Amino acid sequence: MRGLSAAEAIPRPAGLFGARARSLETSSIFSNLDPLVEGPESSMGAGVLPGATASAMDLIRSRVHTVLRDGSMATAFQPIYDLATGHVAGAEALTRFDSGRDPDVWFAQAATAGLAVDAELAAVEAALSAAVQLPDLLYVSVNASPVTCLSPRFSRLLRKAPVRADRIVLELTEHSPVEDYTSLLNALAPLRSSGMRVAVDDAGAGHSSMLHILRLAPDIIKLDKELITDIDTNHLQKALGRAMVNFACDIGATITAEGIETAAELATVTKLGMTSGQGYFLGHPTLLPDQWAQWHSHPGSTMPMVAVSN
Ligand SMILES: [Ca+2]
């Protein structure tokens, strides 16, 4: 990884498979080819639609391959706080690129080129390698879609991970319905037996439906940011949050609130009994190992104090 500018340390609104990735239009996959497309190739810009030319696809595939071969992806970690203790419990790995290219666009391009699994595996491998620099007591959350989990390469990658399995949380992200839960559960079973935990990512949004949660029986339910934003003022969201806490408790799972951006939201999810929280109010993703090292037994690792009113 090259030296980091201040801008690179600034968090971005969406990470690997973040909320924005769900809404990426296929045209944007091609219209955001920069810096994949430079010089004379820039004619492939916004006006080119998916499938318009074989050469366009070949170029995307070639350049995705280049990133995979060169390993030019970096991992930022965003802290996840235990809301009861106020300390960092884990960190979610989010992919960044030296070039500053948009990770969501890049992963979408990789998918378009038929390289989604390769791209996700490369990101998970990079994340697990970086995770050795996290404090020992923290867990590391990595993102993968079900199709990647079904790959034998995924199991091999997790088994040889440089961090213990009981420190790994797999955040299952899904952009389309899972067609075969039995195969998915069978693929994950050995990893779960070894201690790896499974989280349903972005629960309550997209295809992370209640049925998805029921079938996966996750260890962690990550409530989507859209359910957390304004939860302090929206009584319907608050009621749903309370119900999800009770549901999670009954099935032996925990709740992580995603996208906490205000003190009021933090106070509310804490009062509702959610186990952990993540969001810009608590901590931005950072590429800097010096900051990761501070997330353990350090005054700076304590989350902002908020008043929890009745
Ligand atoms: Ca995630």
Instruction: Using the mean position of ligand 1's atoms as its centre, give its distance from the Cα of residue 146 in Å.
Output: 13
Q: What is the mean pLDDT of residues 130-149?
A: 96
Q: Which residues have a Cβ under 8 Å from the Cβ of 210 and sit 6 or more positions away? A: none
Q: Which two tokens stand for residue 133?
A: 């620099």
Of 104, 36, 93, give the one whose Cα is nearest residue 67: 36
Whole-angstrom CA distances from 32 to 36, 38, 49, 226 are 8, 11, 12, 26
143 — pLDDT class (breaks 50, 70, 90): very high
Q: Give 306 Cα–ligand 1 centroid separation in angstroms.
A: 25
Answer whether residue 1 is part of any domain.
no
CA of 244 to the centre of ligand 1 (A): 18
In a domain, 20, yes or no: yes
Domain range for 72 is: 15-301
* 236 token code pair: 């319907």
Residue 278 has which token pair?
């993540």
* pLDDT, position 177: 76
Whole-number Å distance, alpha carbon 56 to ligand 1 midpoint, is: 30
C-alpha 199 – ligand 1 centre gap (Å): 9
Q: Calculate mean pLDDT across residues 4-8.
A: 36
| CA count, 13 A, side-chain hemisphere, 25 | 7
- How high is the pLDDT of residue 305? 61
Which residue shows structure tokens 């032996």? 252
DSSP run (H or E) holding 255: strand 254-257
DSSP 8-class letter at 97: E
What's the CA-to-centroid distance between 65 and ligand 1, angstroms? 24
8: in domain = no
Residue 142 alpha carbon to ligand 1 centre in Å: 7
Is the preceding peptide bond at 35 cis, omega within 30 degrees of 0?
yes
Using the mean position of ligand 1's atoms as its centre, give its distance from the Cα of residue 42 in Å: 32
- Token digits of residue 102: 């948009």
Within a domain: 4? no
Residue 272 alpha carbon to ligand 1 centre in Å:
22
Question: Distance between CA atoms of 205 and 257, rounded to whole angstroms?
Answer: 13
Residue bearing the bigger pLDDT, 72 or 120 = 120
| Structural tokens at position 163 | 């961090």
Q: What's the rounded Cα separation, in Å, for the pair 209 and 124? A: 24
Strands 276-277 and 197-203: unpaired
Average pLDDT of the chain, as a whole number: 82
The rounded Å distance from CA 77 to ligand 1 centre is 11
| Amino acid, single-letter form, for residue 35 | P
CATH number of the domain bearing residue 201: 3.20.20.450
Q: Classify residue 151: in a domain, yes or no.
A: yes
Instruction: Give the pLDDT band (50/70/90) at residue 56.
Output: confident
The two three-digit tokens of residue 126, written as one number: 């990079």
Q: Cα of 285 to ligand 1 centre, how many Å? A: 12
150-165: average pLDDT = 96
Q: How far is the CA of 101 from the centre of ligand 1 (A)?
A: 19
Rounded to an integer, the average pLDDT of 76-80 is 97
Cα of 39 from ligand 1 centre, angstroms: 35
Distance 169 CA to ligand 1 centre (A): 10
Q: What mean pLDDT is predicted for residues 196-218?
A: 88
Q: Ligand 1 centre from 99 Cα, in Å?
A: 22
DSSP at 166: G
How many angstroms separate the CA atoms of 184 and 54, rounded?
33
Q: For 122-137, how does the pLDDT look when each residue is reduced to its tens digit (9 = 90+)?
A: 999 999 999 999 999 9
The mean pLDDT value for 136-147 works out to 95
Q: Is 57 exposed, middle or buried, given 0-12, 13-18 or 19+ CB atoms closer than 10 A?
A: middle
Query: How many Å lie between the centroid of ligand 1 and the Cα of residue 59?
Result: 29
CA dist 257 and 80 (Å) reads 9
Interval between CA 41 and ligand 1 midpoint (Å): 33
Residue pair 257/225 in contact by the 8 Å Cβ criterion:
no
pLDDT band at residue 298, thresholds of 50, 70 and 90?
A: low
Percentage of the chain beyond pLDDT 90 is: 60
14 Cα: distance to centroid of ligand 1 (angstroms): 9
Cα 222 to ligand 1 centre (Å): 8
Tell me if 261 sits within 8 A of 280, measured CB to CB: yes
CA–CA separation, 110 and 118 (whole Å): 8
- What domain count does the chain have? 1
Find, among 101, 81, 98, 102, the residue nearest to 90 by Cα: 81
Task: Say how many Å lie between the CA of residue 174 and the centre of ligand 1.
Answer: 10
Answer positive or negative: Cα dihedral of 46, 50, 52, 57: positive
Distance 234 CA to ligand 1 centre (A): 24
- 238 backbone dihedrals φ, ψ, rounded to 5°: -65, -40
